[in-house]
Structure 1
């Protein structure tokens, strides 16, 4: 049996598994009926779908199903509901895939905890850094003191960039240390909406994903995209924080490593905000120190 035949067989088996799981659970048949009539699913029904399948997966594979088992459910979803498939995702719908990999509680942590548990503390801690012109501008934007400054980011993106300054890139055996200011380009690019996005993609860099924020000015963004290997994926989110949430999740959905310049930042977000693989991830002393300051 060749690989393509095997892939089809795996897809059909996953499809039947998901279909049977839905038909056996309350509300599952409603999910199937909505898709048949609308060729799509509402946000409420998508969440219902994930909740049903997460419950089914836990019942059959325990509280800690393997990544392979989770990916089989994700494959079954896009086989049964093909219009949900992200054309650039090997497994399906980005947030949906992440939900199946880690569960709803983990998937929602960034958006739920950022404003109260992290943003104000990051700003406070960043005030201890040696102030430069760039840091002063980010600080004012983070504290919402520059509403009319079209050359700066909104409060959430400015605070995320302050976090990058608190967790600057480090040098290693295979990498040269760069400044946080240079590392910003590995995280987010502003694209003026009147210019060609195709031209930007042609000039694009490596395979690690980043945010492309398109709008008239940096604090008036119309659309956020994730760029992966010169491919453009529109974000569901309409805010910079939501776009960053999707950017982080894309590493797991596409099975990508963190950009070397952003390892400190992403590792902190992974372990401290999402609480993923906390005890098994290699963390720098700076990450542990910052977590202690922000959480205690």
Structure 2
């Protein structure tokens, strides 16, 4: 790190150059100042162009800056420091330089130095009020630097504060302020090889730097967290548990259910079939919840295929009369016409054409009735499952309608 070996210094109305063949330390600087101005003591205060006091830490940083400006020396106790600084500033307007003095050039502007001071205070306040922040400040005070661990801790603390205050996508200006505040508070952390000194914390040109990388990490973790969030259990579908019916009202023993199923397959009395279908609802629900047996519903309960109204009966038992009535009210006037219209856009197989014809019919002639036909058409609207690239199988509508 290159430092200045020539410093412009002002004491009262006198301005002089201070030279050193070796890099200045705060102690050697004070000794040179005392010798140059014949000061009776080295117990002095040093101020920069913005009238901000310069301590040992700040001097080390300022000596690396090409725009160091003029440092002013004030002896405490000889006069009020503020009065001394203000009077010397006013005196500069009417005094001319001697041969061994240099022109007082305010560079950078005082407002920039005041801004750096404000940002340094902001960073210091954030660290002091955050867990682990004092350790970062103490380590820098002791070593004039930060270990990789402490530096990472500092970045995490500052980014946490930044995102909590301004959201997970803070503006470029805010990120620059935090980066500038870091090197303003900790001058030895500045990069002398970069243009501004803080680009390794945030570089607005390419969006890189420790602060930017930490923010991107938080954004990625938040995105992955949303993706990994466990899905809420689905409340719909045929395999969902229904509480509208009570199992104690139905046959639960397999032996009794098998007897009822056998009776339904051979009786021609529709009233008996409907009654037995009611009694076997709980058994039918168990089959639906079993992935290995759910596809066999129509083979076990084959009367779904030839007796109208059985699906409506199951629906009413599962969802209650109020919900069932809503579906029935809307089906013929609202839902069924849409199903028919959508089905006309499909590839017209003979089976689908029969379903469309029956769905539009007002009377049952052959095959399914109007409502049942439109329900079966829903399955044709579903995309077929692809088993493999060379083996594509389409689900048979009349085989899986109950599962749907």
Same fold (TM over 0.5): no
Larger Rg: 2
Normalization by structure 1: what TM-score?
Answer: 0.34
Normalization by structure 2: what TM-score?
Answer: 0.25
